[in-house]
Homo-oligomer: A and B are copies of this chain.
């Protein structure tokens, strides 16, 4: 039998509330596949930049994502060291992959690449 470390209701319900928004759920779904910067998310979600930034701020505060600055871009990725990561991960297995949306960005030449 598999044993899972439990999260307290307070913290867990906050994670669920945050993922209970279609936009944020899609963002996290995208980030499960690869890290993204804000401007890529703006493009994919067809939303305003401030709106996306505000969502990222909430996801970061809940330790669902981490950020990394690279030049003028800030890349967000899933925080897989977080206490809430196991919960986030097992939730996301129930949603379709968003890979093709990122592929679509690449085809349009809008992917931010900086290595």
Contacts and interface: CB of A to CB of B under 8 A. Distances in A.
A20 B22 contact: no
Contacts of A25: 9, 12-13, 16
Of residues A8, A14, A25, which shows the largest number of chain B Cβ atoms within 10 Å of its Cβ? A25
Nearest to A19: B16
B29 A94 contact: no
A87 B96 contact: no
A95 B4 CA distance: 9
Contacts of A17: 16-17, 20-21
A28 to B, nearest CB: 10
Contacts of A15: 20
Contacts of A18: 20
Interface string A54-83: 000000000000000000000000000000
Of residues A5, A18, A86, A94, which shows the largest number of chain B Cβ atoms within 10 Å of its Cβ? A94
